[in-house]
């Protein structure tokens, strides 16, 4: 601690008031939050001097190019310890884990993907790659190291039998395929939501000390297929589109060609992370790494739906791996389904509150249609009663209105199911919340229930009626 205290005193011209160690991650580095009289910073102790030098150099280069990274304030003469800007405690992964559906998560994810081409191309223009650690560029050795990492630290640990010679042949083919995409760009190496901090609602990059020259596809695969982030296919495509739009500043490439190249890197990165999880979990006995294995296996299972003809034996092994009983997907008893909450209400009493806390959904105004409540014979009835139903349907105005609602609702429910969302709200309002709104709420519920495997709650607020249609 004396070394950190002295380093802080040299920087801030005061002794720290207190220090607290931050949680340890997967590396051997130690992080401390150092508190001064009016500010804080982060002290980093790393046992690998070359890695520390690489981080400091890269941070300085990123900063000069105006990219959002923590500033490095100073370091010890031997580079074993340095001080950097305190970006707070919230990572992008924290935001995504809390609610991937939120506007905040969506904005930050897209901002991060739009930033990636600047990291890959803009920074690389004036970068001395000889300063990178542990090597200046992505090469065959790195590919084979990571693939064998998967083989020895994960595949063998599962007990699955395989022919190492045939597997090595396909590993060599994969290495050749990946090296075809080598370019003079910066490869972040561990570009994922855990390594993006959120400060002032903006993404900041950390943990890029393993960066080097390499192909652009690697980081896209790392981010979008981060195992535990568990992004839906639809969200991945949306984020990929943001990346490709930003990429056009530096390189013109069709989406079809990009995806064709990308899938090889997704497979490679998935195998690499499984190797890391195996080493940290099976050998170092860090159980929290094993918790990410099912997510990586799910990514692998999804990838294998479109065979890789280039690696026939590897495909055979991976299919057997994903079929092992221990890796079969199980549906938790408390798995959340999409719940649709449909209200009828009177505008006189205000729009219904959203119980899910998401701020509300669609609100449809039924007051443009013919109102049965204007006639004495219907005043004591509701949209649940047959005479009112016949009136509305015979009059005909409500039917084309609902056809438009159905079309919009179908699209929205489909998207919510694709993205794994759990709550959606529709509200129908009319003058008294008794006839037209009740009829509309009931019929939308019937329409969605027949078309989708979802749970529905219908609530006629002004009538004090609540119906649950849970499957």
Task: For residue 282, count CB atoms less than 10 angstroms from its CB and return exposed for 0-12, middle for 13-18, buried for 19 or more.
Answer: middle
Predicted pLDDT at 124: 86
- Look at residue 19 and tell me if it is in a domain: yes
Element spanning 392, H or E: helix 386-395
* Domain presence at residue 407: yes
Q: What is the pLDDT of residue 334?
A: 42
- Domain range holding 379? 339-469
Residues 160, 243: one domain? yes
pLDDT at 230: 79
- Cα–Cα distance, 461 to 68 (Å, whole number): 49
Q: Please report whether residue 401 resides in a domain.
A: yes
β 81-85/202-205 pair status: unpaired
- Taking the C-alpha atoms of residue 55 and residue 211, their distance in angstroms, rounded to an integer, is 9
**Same domain for 302 and 233?**
yes
Where helices occur in 67-216 by DSSP H, the ranges are 92-98, 103-117, 140-150, 164-179
Q: 382 and 277: one domain?
A: no
386: Cβ contacts below 8 Å, ≥ 6 apart: none
Q: Which two tokens stand for residue 463?
A: 């009538």
Residue 198, H or E segment:
strand 196-199
Residue 252 lies in a domain: yes
Question: What is the rounded CA–CA span in Å between residue 138 and residue 188?
Answer: 11
User: In this predicted structure, what is the pLDDT of residue 337?
Assistant: 83
pLDDT at 91: 94
CB 116 within 8 A of CB 208: no
Confirm whether 333 is domain-assigned: no
CB 42 within 8 A of CB 32: yes
* Per-run averaged pLDDT (10 residues), the chain, 471 residues: 88 92 76 94 94 96 94 96 96 90 94 97 90 95 96 94 97 98 96 96 96 97 90 93 96 95 97 93 76 88 94 97 84 66 94 80 94 92 92 89 92 86 93 95 92 91 84 54
For residues 145 and 259, state if they share a domain: yes
Residue 370 included in any domain: yes
Provide the CATH number for the domain around residue 37.
Answer: 3.30.200.20
Gap between the Cα atoms of 301 and 263, Å rounded: 13
**339-346 sheet: strands from edge to edge:** 362-365, 423-430, 339-346, 455-460, 465-469
Q: Which of 197, 217, 220 is nearest to 207 (CA)?
A: 197
pLDDT of residue 402: 94
Q: Name which of 146, 170, 165, 144 is nearest 274 in CA terms.
A: 146
Distances (CA, A) of 269 to 141, 178, 263, 311: 15, 11, 10, 15
| CA of residue 434 relative to chain centroid, distance | 43
Q: For the chain, how long is the longest CA-to-CA vector?
A: 91
Residues 6+ apart with CB under 8 A from 144: 171, 172, 175
Domain count for the chain: 3
């Amino acid at each position: 601690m004396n070394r950190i205290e002295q380093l802080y005193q040299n920087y801030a011209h005061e002794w720290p008031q207190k220090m607290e160690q931050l949680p340890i991650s997967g590396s051997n580095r130690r992080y401390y939050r150092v508190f001064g009289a009016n500010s804080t910073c982060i002290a980093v102790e790393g046992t690998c001097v070359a890695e520390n030098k690489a981080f400091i150099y890269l941070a300085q280069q990123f900063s000069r190019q105006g990219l959002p990274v923590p500033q490095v304030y100073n370091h010890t003469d031997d580079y074993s310890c340095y001080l950097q800007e305190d970006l707070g405690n919230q990572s992008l992964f924290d935001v995504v884990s809390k609610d991937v559906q939120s506007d905040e998560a969506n904005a930050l994810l897209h901002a991060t993907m739009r930033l990636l081409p600047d990291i890959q191309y803009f920074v690389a223009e004036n970068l001395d790659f000889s300063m990178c650690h542990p090597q200046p560029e992505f090469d065959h050795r790195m590919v084979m190291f990571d693939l064998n990492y998967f083989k020895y630290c994960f595949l063998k640990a599962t007990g699955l039998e395989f022919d190492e010679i045939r597997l090595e042949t396909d590993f060599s083919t994969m290495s050749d395929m990946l090296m075809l995409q080598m370019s003079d760009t910066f490869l972040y190496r561990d570009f994922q939501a855990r390594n993006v901090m959120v400060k002032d609602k903006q993404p900041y990059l950390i943990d890029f000390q393993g960066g080097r020259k390499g192909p652009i596809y690697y980081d896209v695969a790392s981010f979008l297929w981060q195992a535990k982030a568990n992004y839906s296919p639809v969200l991945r495509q949306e984020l990929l589109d943001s990346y490709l739009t930003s990429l056009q500043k530096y390189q013109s490439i069709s989406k079809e060609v990009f995806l064709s190249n990308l899938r090889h890197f997704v497979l490679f990165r998935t195998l690499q992370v499984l190797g890391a999880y195996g080493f940290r979990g099976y050998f170092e006995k860090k159980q929290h790494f094993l918790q990410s294995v099912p997510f990586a296996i799910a990514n692998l299972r999804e990838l294998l739906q479109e065979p890789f003809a280039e690696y026939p034996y590897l495909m055979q092994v991976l299919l057997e791996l994903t079929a092992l009983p221990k890796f079969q997907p199980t549906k938790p008893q408390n798995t959340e389904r999409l719940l649709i909450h449909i209200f009828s209400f009177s505008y006189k009493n205000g729009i219904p509150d959203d119980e899910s806390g998401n701020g509300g959904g669609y609100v449809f105004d039924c007051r443009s249609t013919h109102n049965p409540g204007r006639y004495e014979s219907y005043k004591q009835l509701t949209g649940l009663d047959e005479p009112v139903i016949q009136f509305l349907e015979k009059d005909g105005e409500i039917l084309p209105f609902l056809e438009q609602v159905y079309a919009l609702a179908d699209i929205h429910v489909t998207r919510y199911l694709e993205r794994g969302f759990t709550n959606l709200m529709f509200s129908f309002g009319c003058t008294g919340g008794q006839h037209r709104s009740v009829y509309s709420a009931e019929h939308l519920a019937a329409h969605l229930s027949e078309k989708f495997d979802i749970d529905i709650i219908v609530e006629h607020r002004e009538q004090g009626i609540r119906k649950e249609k849970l499957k």
